[in-house]
Amino acid sequence: MTPDEFRAAGHQLIDWIAEYRSGLAEGPVLARTEPGAVAASFPSTPPVEPVELAKLIDDLERIVVPGLTQVQHPMHYGWFPSNASLSSVLGDITSSGLGGLGISWESCPALTEVEEVVCDWMRQLTGLSDQWSGTIHDTASTACLVALLAARERATEHSQIGGGMPSVAQPPVVYTTEQAHSSVRKAALLAGYGGDNLRSVAVDGTDHGMDAQHLARQMADDAGAGRRPAAVVATVGSTGTTAIDPLLEIVAVAERHGAWVHVDAAMAGTAMLVPECRPLWEGVEGADSLCWNPHKWMGTILDTSLFYVRDVEHLVRVMSTNPSYLRSSTDGAVTQYRDWGLPLGRRFRALKLWFQLELDGVEAIRRRIRRDLDNARWLADQVERAADWELVAPVPLQTVCVRHHPAAGMSGEELDRHNLAWVGAINRSGDAYLTSSILDGRWMVRVSIGVEGTERRHVEQLWARMRAEAIAAS
């Protein structure tokens, strides 16, 4: 495709995207498609003759769009917000258009240095000290894996360059809570620690934050038995209830054993753009690594996960490669981000953050975050005032976790079925989407507020609908 053909097609596509974004609130939130239906709409063999963009746009409308769950819909309250701010989309378009290749500083110096700049801007904007150095990973799952690899190598005196983990006489141990994201267990298992060496630290019964005293006892027990307390993964804003692990206490406990502390603030990091939220991660400066996802609430288009470490030298020692065809005369003077993570080749992701910060301005982003925090507090108030509704967890951020009690004394599986019934009815209607989740062994419903287009009136509308459906299901 020539640049001129691209110009013509690109204009068509921009118009189509603008129109799509303008109208997406008209359709259902949850995709109404049967498993396999999208795939069955495609020919089973690859296309042979080239087609015009118009044909693809037709396919997008006919096949793809009906197969999308609308996470940009103002009535989407599922999972966590996954905003895709159009300002950052422009940055992503620029990244694709430039077609840069980040395999070393030399292969694309601007890619590396703009990433350094925006990671540092984001550090400042979230109130972190200059002891942190940042990079962009794809997701928090990858960031957690990298952190646990760094921790593993610190705890095993760089076993990877010798006999590897099979040569480690006493196993390194990882600590987290049952409220941690599923990617933590996955990362620990993939990093080779083994499920037997992954401790589930107890949580507080009310706020579901990590019990630092229990952590201290578990670590002491492991150390006493000759095992190596290697890493704690602390969560700031858990996936279930946005629970906050007490970093200050955790860091103090971990320090006694030289254990690595990784802070998973995938969701809550965005909140740190507003100074009044920063007490939530008090103690973060004592951690070893930290991750948060601008691609969630902040709205930078996927995939943009910020990863900060304090000891870059250690990270690079664990993650580096230096074969001859990647050597350059500038080694040492420049940052080689390939040595900070898993993939060698990198996209120019920094443009997404740069464009969003410049085109929207951080104050507009902060206003939106405060709006969402207010909306969540408003909904939590309504729930607390309603006799038949239960607020099942505190609301430190923008997620409100609820259960409806249709009759005094209903509990157990009967209550589960009731709550799954009303939330299922809402989700199937397409008018809104909420996620059901298990907390303390029982189903509850998460209302995760924070889509760019979600205003107070949408939350009011949701609350009215929740009450109506809950009564209908009773």
Contact positions with its own copies (CB under 8 A) in 76-95 = 78-79, 82-87, 89-90, 92-94
Q: Examine residue 347 and tell whether it contacts its own copies (CB under 8 A).
A: yes
Q: Examine residue 42 and tell whether it contacts its own copies (CB under 8 A).
A: yes
Give the chain's radius of gyration (CA, Å): 24
Q: Examine residue 15 and tell whether it contacts its own copies (CB under 8 A).
A: yes
What is the residue-wise DSSP string for 29-52? SS----TTHHHHTS-SS---S---
CB neighbourhood size of 465 (10 A): 18
- Out of 357, 392, 400, 470, point to the residue binding its own copies (CB under 8 A): 357
Q: Draw the binding track, 251-290, toward its own copies (x: CB under 8 A; -: no contact).
A: ----------------------------------------
Q: Examine residue 109 and tell whether it contacts its own copies (CB under 8 A).
A: yes
Judged by CB, which is closer to its own copies: 78, or 246?
78
Q: Interface residues for its own copies in 407-466 (CB under 8 A)? A: 435-438, 446
Instruction: Give the helix ranges, DSSP H, for 361-406.
Output: 362-385
Q: Examine residue 162 and tell whether it contacts its own copies (CB under 8 A).
A: yes
Q: Examine residue 152 and tell whether it contacts its own copies (CB under 8 A).
A: yes
Least separation in angstroms between residue 312's CB and its own copies is 16
User: How many residues interact with its own copies (rule CB under 8 A)?
Assistant: 160
Q: Distance (Å, rounded) from C-alpha 293 to C-alpha 37?
A: 32
- Out of 136, 149, 268, 380, point to the residue binding its own copies (CB under 8 A): 149
Q: Distance (Å, rounded) from C-alpha 323 to C-alpha 67?
A: 44
Backbone angles phi, psi at 268, to 5 degrees: -75, -15
Q: Examine residue 366 and tell whether it contacts its own copies (CB under 8 A).
A: no
Supply 337's token pair: 């981000």
- Out of 67, 286, 406, 430, point to the residue binding its own copies (CB under 8 A): 67
Q: Examine residue 25 and tell whether it contacts its own copies (CB under 8 A).
A: no
Supply 423's token pair: 């939330």
- Out of 116, 311, 390, 455, point to the residue binding its own copies (CB under 8 A): 116
CB–CB of 125/300 below 8 Å? no
Those residues whose C-beta lies under 8 Å from the C-beta of residue 253, and which sit 6 or more positions away, are: 212, 215, 216, 219, 232
Q: Examine residue 236 and tell whether it contacts its own copies (CB under 8 A).
A: no
CB–CB of 36/47 below 8 Å? no
Least separation in angstroms between residue 129's CB and its own copies is 15
Q: Examine residue 322 and tell whether it contacts its own copies (CB under 8 A).
A: yes
Q: Examine residue 45 and tell whether it contacts its own copies (CB under 8 A).
A: yes
Q: Distance (Å, rounded) from C-alpha 21 to C-alpha 84?
A: 10
Backbone angles phi, psi at 328, to 5 degrees: -150, 165
Beta bridge partners, 175, equal 199, 232
Q: Distance (Å, rounded) from C-alpha 380 to C-alpha 375?
A: 9
Least separation in angstroms between residue 249's CB and its own copies is 26
- Out of 25, 252, 312, 362, point to the residue binding its own copies (CB under 8 A): 362
Least separation in angstroms between residue 24's CB and its own copies is 9
Q: Examine residue 468 and tell whether it contacts its own copies (CB under 8 A).
A: no
Supply 255's token pair: 């320090």
Coil, helix or strand for 293?
coil
Judged by CB, which is closer to its own copies: 206, or 321?
321
Q: Examine residue 58 and tell whether it contacts its own copies (CB under 8 A).
A: no
Exposed (0-12), middle (13-18) or buried (19+): which is 103, by Cβ within 10 Å? Answer: middle
Judged by CB, which is closer to its own copies: 79, or 389?
79
Q: Interface residues for its own copies in 195-234 (CB under 8 A)? A: 195-197
